[in-house]
Amino acid sequence: MRYELTISLMRIGIISSLRAYDGVEKQTLPKRSKSTEIRQARKKWKKTYDKWIKDTKIKDKAPKTTPSKIPLKSIYDPTDIDDFDYLKKLGFPGIYPFTRGVYPTMYRGRPWTVRLLSGFGTGEDANERFKFLVKEGETGLNLALDSPTIYGFDADDPRMRGEVGQGGASISSIEALERIFKDLPIGRLSTSVVTHFLGLPTYAMYIAMADKQGIPRKNLRGTTQNDPLWLFHVGNPPLPLKPSIKLAVDLQEFCMKHTPKWYGINVSGYHIREAGSNAIQEAVFTLADATVFIDETLSRGWHIDDIAPQISFFMNAYNNLFEEIAKFRAMRRVWAKILKERYGAKKDRSLIFKFHTQTGGSALTAQEPLNNIVRATIHSLAAIIGGTQSLHTDSYDEALGLPTEAAAKLALRTQHIIYHESGVPNVIDPLGGSYYVEWLTDQVEEEIWRYFDRIDKAGGMLAYTEAGIPRREISQTSYQTQLAIERGDIPIVGVNLFKSKIGDFEVCRVKLEQEDAEIDAVKRVKKNRNEKAVEETLGEFRKACKKGVNVTPYAIKAAKANVTNGEMYQVFWDVYGEWPHLD
Amino acid sequence: MRKKNKKTRILLSKVGVDVHDRGLKVIAAALRDAGMEVIYLGASRFQDEIVKSAEEEDVDAIGISSMEGMHHVKIPELMKELREKKIEVPVVCGGIIPMNEANDLKERHGVYEVFSPGSTLKEIVECFRKCTS
C-alpha cells in the first residue's frame, strides 16, 4: 500500500514536472524510478573502491570535510540530490531564487567589472596607477584608503608618521581626492571606495568634487564600502556601535535620494574571512550584518523596495574552489528568500545578491611568491563560476608588500585570460546540475539557515554583535585553522609542504618623502582655506550630529569648504564617544 | 614586587592604526595555551598607549605586529620611548618585515627577535619563554 502510494505520487510528480519544466528536468536529472538502480550501482562501485584500497594498501588521504567542516563523500550521484526540485532550487538566471545568477544574461551580456584595488603613496601616485590600469583594460576604479584616513586622522597628525599612504591612498581633504582622480572620467567610470569603516567623509568629498566638475549627482556610479559592522567582528572600530550604524545608514539614505546609481552600503564579508573565519561564517555574518542596516533604514520610514536595491556585498574567494562556488550560489538563494519572505520585498531588484569579490589575501604566501599567481587564478575562477559582478585579483607579491606595477598588470591579465581564453564565462552557471555542487550548495544553505536561527534566537544580529559572539567565534576558527596548518592538516605549498625559505624580493614601498608630500599638501590646504567657511560648515555639521538628523548634506558642505577627514572624525568622537576597544 | 610564581605576562599590540590583527590574536591564544598571561591591546594602538600599558601591567615582554610596512618608522620610535621610560623588557616583533630590515631592528634598535611570515606558533611561544626566563 505504502509502496503503491509512493509510486503514484512519483508519477504525479514526474508528469507535472515534465509539464512545468518543459523537458528541462528530463534532460538534467534522472527520473526518480532510477534511484534504486543507481543506489545499487553505487553499492557495487563502493565495494570495488574498498577492495581497491585494501588490495593496493593505499590510504584514502582525502580530507573528510570541506574547510567549513561539511562532511564529504568521495563521489556524488543523483541520489544525493534525490528530492531536487529544479525550479524551486535553481530556476534560471535573473529569476527567483537567483541561484544561477542575478542577471538573465550574466557574462554573455557583458563581463564582470575588472576592478583592481589600488591607491598608495601620494595622490599623484594613485592617479598614475589608476590611469595605467584603465589604459590596460580595467573597467572600474577601486580605491583603497590608507589606515589613517580609515580611522579618521589627517596626514599631518604626528601619530600617523610612517603610515600615510602605506596601505592605500591618503585622503585628508577634497584636495587630495581631486589629485587622485585628476583627468579620470568619473562621470563615466564607476568608482568603488574601500572605506573599511564609515564612508561618509570620503563620499562627501567625492560628491563635492563631482559638483565642482558639474557632473549631475544622479549620474554618479559607484560604491562606498561604508560597512562599519565588520570592524566590530574583527579589528578595532574607532566609534561605538550604534552611532556607527546610524552614520552608515545616513549615507545610505542620502544615496537613495540623490545618487541612485551609487551603492551606499557594501556589506563586507571579505575582512571577516581574512581575519580567519570559514566560508559559512563569512556568508552568515555578512548577510546578517546587512539585515542590521536594513532594519535601521526601515525604522526611518523607508520601504524595503527602496532600500534593498542599493545594498551590495563584498566577498572573499578562497582556496577550496567548490565550497567557494557553493557559497556564492547559496548566498544568492538565502538573500532572495530573506528579502522576499522576511521583508516582503516585491521587486526583483530588491532580491538579488550582487557582490564584488577579492581573491583571498591571507591565502598568499611570502615563500615562493610566484605560486600566488596560481592561487589567485583559482580564487578568480571561484568568483567567476560563482557569478560575481566585479573582481579584484590579488597580485602575487601582496604577501610581501604593495603590488609592483608588473604584478598588478599580471593580476589584471589573469582576469583577461579567464574571460577571453578559458571559455569559462561562455555558459551561465556552468556547474549548475553538478551532483556535488548542487549538494554542497544545499549544505551551505542549510548551515547558513541554522546559524541564522541561532542569531534570531539571540535577539538578532545587533544583539549578537553587542554580545561579541561573532568576534569570539571568528577568533576561535582562526586559531583552530592555524593549529591545523601547523599540524599539517591544512597543507600550504612552500609553507608546511615542500617547505621553502623567504627569499629576497622587490617590494613596492612608500617612501617617507611621499608621505611628506601628503603632509605638506594638507598643511597647505589648512593654511589657505577660508577659515570662516570652515568654522561655519563644521559648526553646522556638529549641530547636525548632536541633533540626530541625517548628517550627509552637512558633510558635503563641509567638504566643499575644505574641512578635513580628521576634523569630521573629531566631531564624531566629541559627539558619539571614543574608541570602544573591544579586546 | 611581583611574586616569583606569578605567570609570565606578555603585552601584545600593534603600533599605529594598522588593522591586521589575525596573526596577533592567534599568538595571544597560543601564549595563553602555553600558560602565559596576555595583555592584549590588539589593533590600532598608539605608542603612548603601549608604553603606558607596559608600565602599568608590569609585563615581562612585549610583542609587536606590523603588517603595513611602517615598522621601520614605528618600531624604532617605540624602542626609543621604552628605553627613555626605562622599560627594559624584551620586544619581539613579527609581520611583513624584510630580512635586512629585521636585522636592522635587532642590531641597531635592540629588538630581541623578528618573526617573518610562515613562522610557527611553537617557535614564537618558545622565543617568548626564552626571553622571559
Angstrom distance (rounded) from CA B50 to CA B38: 13
**Nearest chain A Cα distance for residue B24, angstroms:** 10
Q: Are A502 and B70 within 8 A, CB to CB? A: no
pLDDT tens digits in sequence order for chain B, 133 residues long: 455 568 999 999 999 998 899 999 999 999 999 999 999 999 999 999 999 999 999 999 999 999 888 898 999 999 999 999 999 999 999 999 988 899 999 999 999 999 998 899 999 999 999 999 9
ipTM of model? 0.94
Domain residues for the domain of A439 are 109-487
Q: Is B32 inside a domain boundary?
A: yes
**What confidence score (pLDDT) does residue B2 get?**
53
Chain B, nearest residue to A275 by Cα:
B22
Residue A203 scores a pLDDT above 60: yes
DSSP state of A393: P
Q: How far apart are CA B8 and CA B4, in angstroms?
A: 10
Say whether residue B30 is in contact with chain A using an 8 A CB cutoff.
yes
Q: How far apart are the first and last CA of chain B?
A: 17
With 90 as the cut, is the pLDDT of residue A16 above it?
no
Q: Which pLDDT does position A405 carry in this prediction?
A: 87
Residue A19 lies in a domain: no
Average pLDDT over every residue of A342-356:
97
Of A96, A171, A78, A169, nearest to A129 by C-alpha is A169
How many contacts does A have with B, using Cβ atoms within 8 A?
107
* Chain B touched by A363 (CB under 8 Å): no
Chain B CB contacts of A276 under 8 Å are 22, 25-26
Suggest the residue from B21, B31, B45, B68 to mutate for an interface test with chain A (most A CBs closer than 10 A). Answer: B68
Range of the domain at B46: 9-132
Contact B68 A167 (CB under 8 A): yes
CB contact under 8 A, B19 and A236: yes
On the question of pLDDT at A17 being above 60, the answer is: no
Which residue of A146, A151, A163, A474 to mutate against B (max B Cβ within 10 Å)? A163
Neighboring chain A residues of B68 at a CB cutoff of 8 Å: 147, 163, 166-167
At B109, which CATH number? 3.40.50.280
In a domain, B4, yes or no: no
A87 occurs within a structural domain = no
Contact B73 A512 (CB under 8 A): yes
A404 has a chain B CB within 8 A of its CB: no
A504 in contact with B, Cβ within 8 Å: yes
Q: Is position B1 within any domain?
A: no
Q: What is the CATH number of the domain that holds A237?
A: 3.20.20.240
A524-564 residue pLDDT tens: 999 999 999 999 999 999 999 999 999 999 999 999 999 99
Q: Hey, of A145, A230, A482, which one would you mutate to test binding to chain B, going by the most B CBs within 10 A of its CB?
A: A482
The number of domains in chain B is 1
Q: Does residue B66 lie in a domain region?
A: yes
At residue A475, the pLDDT reads 97
Q: According to the model, what pLDDT value does residue B19 have? A: 87
Task: List the alpha helices (DSSP H) in A57-122.
Answer: 86-89
Does B29 contact A401 at a Cβ distance shorter than 8 Å? Answer: no
The pLDDT of residue A2 is 39
Interior/surface letters B46-69, b for 16+ CB within 10 angstroms, e for the rest = bbeebbebbeeeebbbbbbbbbbb
DSSP A325-348: HHHHHHHHHHHHHIIIIIT---SH
How deeply is A244 buried, as exposed, middle or buried, from its count of CB atoms within 10 A (0-12, 13-18, 19+)? buried
Which of A120, A166, A472 to probe the B interface (max B CBs under 10 A)? A166
Confidence of residue A33 (pLDDT cuts 50, 70, 90): low
Q: Do B44 and A486 touch (CB under 8 A)?
A: no
Q: Which residues of B touch A166 (CB under 8 A)?
A: 68-70
Q: Which residues contact A242 (CB under 8 A, 6 or more apart)?
A: none
- How far, CA to CA in Å, does A221 sit from each of A116, A259, A264? 16, 8, 11
**Within a domain: residue A511?**
no
Contact B17 A495 (CB under 8 A): no
- Give the distance from residue A87's alpha carbon to the nearest chain B alpha carbon, in angstroms: 42
Say whether residue A196 is in contact with chain B using an 8 A CB cutoff.
yes
- Tell me the three cell numbers of residue B48: 603612548
pLDDT tens column, A98-148? 999 999 999 998 899 998 888 888 999 999 989 998 898 888 888 999 999
**What is the count of structural domains for chain A?**
1
Which chain B residues contact residue A482 at CB under 8 A? 26, 30, 121
Check CB contact under 8 Å for B74 and A162.
yes
Q: How confident is the model at residue A32 (pLDDT cuts 50, 70, 90)?
A: low
| CA A13 – CA A4 distance, rounded (Å) | 14
Instruction: Note whether residue A240 is domain-resident.
Output: yes
